Amino acid sequence: MATYDPMIDPAAARQAHRMQALFPLMRVLFVNSPQLRFATKKIAKPTRITIPTRHGDIGALVYSPTARDIEAQLAAGHRPPVHLITHGGGFILRTPKQEDNVAQYLASEVGCFVVIPDYDAAPQVRFPVEEEESYDAFRWIHAHGGEFGWDQDRITVGGASAGGKLALNVALMAIDDGHYVPLAVSSEYGASDMSIPDEQRTSTKKNPIVGRGLMTLIRKTYFLGADLTDPLASPALHPRLAELPPTLIETAELDTLKHESNALAAEPVRRGVDVTHREFAGVDHAFTHAKPVEVAREAITMIGDHLRKAFASAL
């Protein structure tokens, strides 16, 4: 029987459960095209590991570079680096496998391990469980990565949609804690300011992917009762944005989340952060996982270039 946080209204919980049940089919129909796989090397299927967090153990997928690439990096005197992907899914879907095409590309072309935690989601949990589990996973990688042959001192973090917000959270939580900070951050069509009224999230597209209905459901489930001006809920409001590491922000012309992410891209630049920002024309949310192919290719290639530069800078 599906469970949910007792504070969440049963009707909203049922709607979220339906969304969870339908997504595997939607993924197969719309975001699983082999044309969106750009890895040039054969990457093995991901392995599964367990990561402890303050909320209990969570699973994670681990994608590995090829054996030849691992050997080449060891021969050069360093272990392969690690990229943590905080997956998307509107704070409701548990979809680490959704990031398969991106993870395969990064393992193949950048030569890094890719870890994708399967963090808990609404309606089973509420804010700030996802943020805390993602950060705990990052801390665990830094503490234990060496046991797996990873370079635990060369870690980056990134994510799409809800995962873009969580990636920013991870970096900013590390900054607040005085802990090891990721070498770079990426956010693809990410949320960043949950305090913005939904009527300000506009698009020229008649039925954008992230519409009012989805945002209402997110507010009624994951963010129920949260102070949306808390920087943990809205990293764009964090007072220490100037301390972010090099950051890549990718947005979409037709995406209702583009306004907050475009504003977020401008603010760290004003504060002196190394920010790369690209708004892709003519596309909506989730463009790294959907056609047109050339937009997805360019966006994913930009992520790889961003990480490769960050990893090289730490050698």
Rounded CA separation 23/29 (Å): 10
Rounded CA separation 46/168 (Å): 25
Would you give the DSSP letter of residue 86?
E
pLDDT at 270: 83
Q: Is the pTM of this model over 0.95?
A: yes
pLDDT at 31: 62
pLDDT at 82: 98
Q: Please, what sign has the CA dihedral across residues 34, 40, 42, 46?
A: negative
pLDDT at 246: 97
For residues 173 and 273, the model is more confident at 173
pLDDT tens for residues 15-71?
A: 999 999 988 777 766 666 889 999 999 999 999 999 999 999 999 999 999 999 999
Q: Per-residue pLDDT averaged across 113-128, rounded?
A: 98
Tokens of 289: 């996982």
pLDDT at 19: 94
Total length of the chain: 315
Rounded CA separation 171/158 (Å): 10
Rounded CA separation 295/281 (Å): 9
pLDDT tens for residues 141-178?
A: 999 999 999 999 999 999 999 999 999 999 999 999 99
Mean pLDDT of the chain: 95
Tokens of 92: 């409701």
Rounded CA separation 230/236 (Å): 10
Q: Nearest Cα to 194, choosing from 168, 232, 163?
A: 232
Tokens of 189: 């069509």
Determine the straight-line distance between the first and last CA of the chain, rounded to whole angstroms.
50
Contact 66, 42 (CB under 8 A): yes
For residues 23 and 217, the model is more confident at 217
pLDDT at 28: 66
